[in-house]
Amino acid sequence: MRHDLLERGIKVDLIYLDPPFFTGKIQKSNWQPGAMEVSFEDSKKFWGTKGIIGAPTWLKELGVKRPAFASYLNYIGKRLELCKRVLKDSGSIYLHCDNRAAHYLKMIMDNIFGYKNLINEIIWQRSLGHHLAAKMDVMTDSLFFYTKNKDFVYNQQYQKLSDKELDKKFSQIEEETGRKFTHRQLEQPQNIGSRGETRIIQGKKIKTEQGWRWSQKRIDEKLAENPYIVYWTSTGRPRYKLYADEYKGRKLGSLWTDIPHLSSGSKERRGFPTQKPEALLERVIKISSNPGDLVLDPFCGCGTAIVAANKLNRNWIGIDINPDACEVMTKRFEDYFQITPELHLRNVEEIKKLNPSQFEIWVNEFYQARKPSPDRGVDGITPEGWPIQTKTFKVKYDVVSSFLNNIKYHPSVPQPAKYAIIASKEGFAESAMARVFQIKENEGITIKLVTPEDLLE
């Protein structure tokens, strides 16, 4: 996220994160449900040496009793800070949590995004309960919806009612047309300004003691559009009709009970243990973005959020550390849209498998460098004009020396060269480091030696 978005100045409109959950167990296999969870070993890495600096006091205190869990929270917090930096000012972020860490993560979100920017805690009912739990089934997840500012994209959504609910709500039938309807007040006390005024409705002069919801002009326009719009009560008071066939649905609130979890037989299922339903992500994306916007999922798993974004004509970026997840996600895109997503590998094991020309392409893509033609011993040149050499074996003294000669007289390298990069898959011998030191002393040229691990750090 830091390299591909932040350093390149790419900002996104919407972020959805469904991070791995903390279990505290040591995970053994990659493709078990556990792979979606952060292990104790991983969490120690997250706390690391720098983790505790800058962490809120409560988190440091929690770290005394539950160090592994605190380091997990700290790790997610660092990710969220990066998210804030890549989010546009008008952007929104949804953090999807289960009940194990939700309350702590909300405090972290408050800390990073500001409690005033909490728009809602969405409760998603993900199961009807299995009735197998010893005490109480966990049937819900929380999605914390924050924005960066008060001015944000928000597209109102509506929840469809069931036929039974619709029949109950729109219980009357218009004789003239057969349309189902219900009725609402035309007179109401909050319209105090028109209290005592008279309206002429279908030829009748009606004075109100309360106040009118509609002006005379609006009443006339409504009646011109639909002569049956007014409903008269048995006491002769006018109301207006709402029709079932024009009803968009119930305004969406924070309780989402209408999106079921994926059943084992669902067509959407890709065999990915923590896969979320597309309908859930489609709703999030529709609320908080517009077509053409950029959606980011920094823990994209088998790609539900980015599949939903693609369906809704949004641009998208998905990140996942697990090559198996990327494989499932790629297959999903091929099946749904007949496109193979562009993969930017940021996984050391995968990068170690690249052949020399693939490694060269990967390093150049990382630095946004271009290969010069003719190359004359220089594999890439960064936008700043720094030459790059890539090697898939352990680099020794002689490689550094000949690279120096290549860059000093290269027609495409701005002279005098001041800075250069050698990237090696297998690292550097001490003789290479000694040569780099000599070159700096004698020629004033800094040669940076990097491995894939350094670049991915």
Ligand X SMILES: C[S@@+](CC[C@H](N)C(=O)[O-])C[C@H]1O[C@@H](n2cnc3c(N)ncnc32)[C@H](O)[C@@H]1O
Positions touching ligand X (CB under 6 A) are: 18-20, 36, 272, 274-276, 299, 301-302, 304, 319-322, 325
Task: Show the tokens assigned to 379.
Answer: 């594999």
Identify which of residues 101 and 229 has a Cβ nearer to ligand X in the complex.
101
Task: Show the tokens assigned to 20.
Answer: 């791995």
Task: Show the tokens assigned to 132.
Answer: 């197998």
Helix H or strand E segment including 12: strand 12-17
Burial state string for 283-310 with b = 16 or more CB within 10 A and e = fewer than 16: bbbbbbbeeebbbbbbbbbbbbbbbbbb
Cβ 281 to ligand X shortest distance, Å: 7
- Cis bond before residue 416 (omega within 30° of 0): yes
Q: Which residues lie below 8 Å from residue 442, measured CB to CB, with a gap of 6+?
A: none
Residue 306, phi then psi, degrees to nearest 5: -80, -25
The residue nearest ligand X at its CB is 301
Cβ 127 to ligand X shortest distance, Å: 16
Identify which of residues 21 and 419 has a Cβ nearer to ligand X in the complex.
21
Contact in structure between 226 and 202 (CB atoms under 8 Å): no
Neighbours of 118 (CB within 10 A): 15
Cβ 359 to ligand X shortest distance, Å: 22
Report the alpha-carbon distance of residue 294 to residue 367 in Å, rounded: 22
Identify which of residues 187 and 320 has a Cβ nearer to ligand X in the complex.
320
Identify which of residues 36 and 294 has a Cβ nearer to ligand X in the complex.
36
Cβ 302 to ligand X shortest distance, Å: 4
Cβ 304 to ligand X shortest distance, Å: 3
Contact in structure between 337 and 309 (CB atoms under 8 Å): no
Identify which of residues 212 and 272 has a Cβ nearer to ligand X in the complex.
272
Task: Show the tokens assigned to 6.
Answer: 């932040």
Contact in structure between 94 and 16 (CB atoms under 8 Å): yes
Closest CA to 445 of 453, 454, 435, 455: 435
Identify which of residues 289 and 322 has a Cβ nearer to ligand X in the complex.
322
Identify which of residues 322 and 389 has a Cβ nearer to ligand X in the complex.
322
Cβ 130 to ligand X shortest distance, Å: 20
Report the alpha-carbon distance of residue 147 to residue 328 in Å, rounded: 31
Cβ 38 to ligand X shortest distance, Å: 7
Identify which of residues 297 and 360 has a Cβ nearer to ligand X in the complex.
297
Find where tokens 């029709």 sit: 243
Virtual torsion, Cα 321, 327, 328, 332, nearest 10 deg:
120
- Cis bond before residue 374 (omega within 30° of 0): yes
Identify which of residues 32 and 254 has a Cβ nearer to ligand X in the complex.
32
Identify which of residues 319 and 447 has a Cβ nearer to ligand X in the complex.
319
Catalogue the long-range contacts made by 366-373 (C-beta closer than 8 Å, 24 or more residues apart): 366/3, 366/455, 367/421, 368/8, 372/410, 372/411, 372/412, 372/413
Cβ 111 to ligand X shortest distance, Å: 20
Burial state string for 350-372 with b = 16 or more CB within 10 A and e = fewer than 16: ebeebeeeebbbbbbebbebeeb
Cβ 36 to ligand X shortest distance, Å: 5
Cβ 72 to ligand X shortest distance, Å: 11
Report the alpha-carbon distance of residue 453 to residue 349 in Å, rounded: 10
